[in-house]
Structure 1
Amino acid sequence: MPKKLIPILFRADVSHALGTGNIMRCIAFASGLPKSFSPTFVLRDYPGSDAILPIIHKKGWNIAKLPESLQEEAEISVIKTLVMEINSSLIVVDLVCASVFESPYIIADYCRKLRAIDGLYVISIEDNRLTYFTSHMAIIGNTIYPAYEKRKKSQNCLILEGTKYFICHENVTAYTKKSRIIRRIANRILVFIGGSDVAGVTAYVLAAIQENVVDNNLKIKVILGPTMTRSLRYQIINMAARLQYVELISFTDTIGALLLWADIAIVGEGTIKFEAAIIGTPTLVISQFDHDSKPIRDFISIGCAMHLKFSADLTSSLIFKKTMDLLADYPTRFAMSTAAKKFFDGKAVKRIYHELKKRSLC
């Protein structure tokens, strides 16, 4: 007799403005769970959200679309109905975005309302800048130094905090088992600023290389984010067509092989910097907006990445110089790779699943 599937809801959003970080983390979470789980993704019908649906459909998971302008109370009612229809007792909420930090209790209020749904256990994916949680279980994977954090007294919430709870895709985790070779002669660069790259940093990086490169020994792979605007995507495609050493890669949830291939990665300030760290890829972080928050300061302090702020002061020649200097500096790249591995192991989902089993929730 086949084993009964365990329904689990994932509530996350994706759009041109929000990017893909939240939804991809939920996809990574779902992918790392045993096959006995049956995920349903609940997301708003924001512009750009359709770009991520093929990944979810390909895995055979369910999707419930909410109207873009649906009021929160109506959303809670829809989720309550969905919980009863599929008989789910678990929901993972991953809705932290830039606007949340202007109203830091908005996620706590939302989780409190979900928690009022009879029989529903609420797991929230939180951020190190937040201090108050009302879910049953709060996951804070971007905390680098958990022993030094101060949290407000939360309502019977289990807080799982630290890099060992950073959720990454099983494909990334699989590559931690392979030997990470830091090559002395380096020429491979992976560029992925983010799912949307709202500031257009990718095009700026390509322009910096195009304007300054003196030989074509470089090998560069650029990942096209699925929620990039059409104009930015065309700009990047046109630039790459003139650069024989640049290869464009379609967005994928199997990024581990690309990070292992790269001698260095040029990334944005989102989740990709953690995935590069897990695999031990030396990294140049170019932040679009989050230049000086506690999470990014703590991350850079590990020693696994260099940081440049995307601003009027960041010239193409400086981007090129920092890139080429890092490629040429074997000792620094080796030290970066070694430092990262001390903080990350990619086993977060297994740890979270163990906590759920301890509570007889699966």
Structure 2
Amino acid sequence: MTLDKKKVLFIFDSGRRVGYGHQARCERLAHNLQAKGIKAACLGDIEFESRYITEKTNINWQKEGEWKAILKTILRQGYHALIIDIRNLMHTKDKILEIIKYCSENSKEALRVVIDELNCKSIYGQQSAHAFAASPHILILPYFNNIAYKYKVNENCTILSGSQYALIDSEFEEMKEKKIASYPSERNSNLLIAFGRSDAGKEVANRIIKTLEQIDLRIEKIYATLGEEKTYEVKNSKYDINFVGFNNNMPSLLKDIDIAIAGSGTIRYETCCSGIPTLCFSQFKEHTKDLKEFAGAGLCKYGGEVFRMSNMELANTITQFANNEDKLRGLSLMCLRSKYTSGNGVKLIGRIIAKRLMRR
């Protein structure tokens, strides 16, 4: 069967509690597969509109009987692959395993792909038949650390581990090449503040903006992406602040950015691939270890666990980072030279999935 006869179902969640990252990763991969002729649909607790996947089914995972009935009906449509990205704070480990296991039992012939978040080892590391039964055919671990951990998975499971599999927009690959060719470029000191859509309840971005009013930085313009889609007013600010709201076209936004303050999600791979020196704060304790390793390789500056920091600690950390021009240039060059982020993760994974689908 040719690829244009294949159908793929993406299962993910998105919303103000979990952010946009899971949906963004799946949509980029869906776009790549659709370009090969593969049809894509999505299912999950999905709050945001989709850029590339038009066929969508919303589901409430909290209603046990309801989600199983809906999922079973959808799976009967004969999807050739299930691509699952539901590792987030809304679900317990047992819940995630239950969903993946249910997909396995009700779609035995389909290729199962799991895109996992941090702390995956604690899920598949469980020595239980439940974990083994839920093991996928392909497990994607888009972290910095390129170690294929020995999970309790089927011996036929292919583990794609490392930041080269980060599912960022493929335009970053071309952007990185241009930045390398033009380095060192003139700096306009445009600052980006980006903590993702899961920041809606925490408002870390707003806290950063208020902190900047108390310190002096050598920057001209601030761009801030905020969790809530509304205009924030800052009266009599010393900086030129532009609230860009939610932005799902990061390559376009980042091309004019010189320095960034960001969270611990996908944004760090995007700024690194763009050669933008970035101060990264951990928003969740589950992200801290991986973020420290990312910073340890010289790919960002680790700021700390923002939920534990006082306003004075936050101000001092930002000042020391943003006003050291030599270190900023050094960090930018480290990012551009890095082998860990290339911007071609979507292409790599899309090629592997397409190849596996051709065999089925």
TM-score (norm 2): 0.83
Q: 1:298 to 1:199 in 2, by over 3 A?
A: same
Structure 1 residue 159: Cα displacement: 0.9
Structure 1 residue 5: Cα displacement: 5.2
The RMSD of aligned alpha carbons is 2.9
In 1: Cα distance, 2:211 partner to 2:320 partner? 14
In 1: Cα distance, 2:144 partner to 2:150 partner? 11
1:350 aligned onto 2:347: yes
In 2: Cα distance, 1:219 partner to 1:119 partner? 53
Of 38, 48, 52 in structure 2, the residue corresponding to residue 59 of structure 1 is 52
CA contact (8 A) 1:7 1:38 kept: yes
In 1: Cα distance, 2:100 partner to 2:204 partner? 34
Give the aligned partner of residue 33 of structure 1. Answer: 33
Matched residue type, 2:179: S
Give the aligned partner of residue 111 of structure 1. Answer: 100
Matched residue type, 1:108: L
CA contact (8 A) 2:41 2:53 kept: no
CA contact (8 A) 1:176 1:279 kept: yes
Structure 1 residue 66: Cα displacement: 1.4
CA contact (8 A) 1:186 1:327 kept: no
C-alpha offsets along residues 125-165 of structure 1, whole Å, 9 cap, x if unaligned? 11352232601110001142316x44335453211111111
Which runs of 5 or more residues in structure 2 are unaligned? 125-133
C-alpha offsets along residues 155-199 of structure 1, whole Å, 9 cap, x if unaligned? 532111111111112333442232254556552101111113132
In 1: Cα distance, 2:60 partner to 2:141 partner? 29
CA contact (8 A) 1:44 1:66 kept: yes
Partner SS state of residue 284, structure 1: strand
Q: 1:137 to 1:40 in 2, by over 3 A?
A: same
Structure 1 residue 272: Cα displacement: 1.1
CA contact (8 A) 1:266 1:285 kept: yes
In 1: Cα distance, 2:334 partner to 2:160 partner? 22
1:219 aligned onto 2:221: yes
Partner SS state of residue 160, structure 2: strand
Matched residue type, 1:205: I
Partner SS state of residue 87, structure 2: coil
CA contact (8 A) 1:240 1:247 kept: no
Q: 1:5 to 1:104 in 2, by over 3 A?
A: same
Structure 1 residue 21: Cα displacement: 1.5
Partner SS state of residue 234, structure 2: helix
Matched residue type, 1:111: I
Seq. identity, %: 19
CA contact (8 A) 2:118 2:287 kept: no
CA contact (8 A) 1:33 1:349 kept: no
Q: 1:60 to 1:300 in 2, by over 3 A?
A: closer
When structure 1 is superposed on structure 2, of 156-165 and 325-334 the one drifting more is: 325-334
When structure 1 is superposed on structure 2, of 241-250 and 340-349 the one drifting more is: 241-250
Q: 1:292 to 1:167 in 2, by over 3 A?
A: closer
In 1: Cα distance, 2:32 partner to 2:57 partner? 21
Give the aligned partner of residue 79 of structure 2. Answer: 88
In 2: Cα distance, 1:42 partner to 1:305 partner? 34
Q: 1:206 to 1:83 in 2, by over 3 A?
A: same
Q: 1:292 to 1:351 in 2, by over 3 A?
A: closer
Give the aligned partner of residue 135 of structure 2. Answer: 134
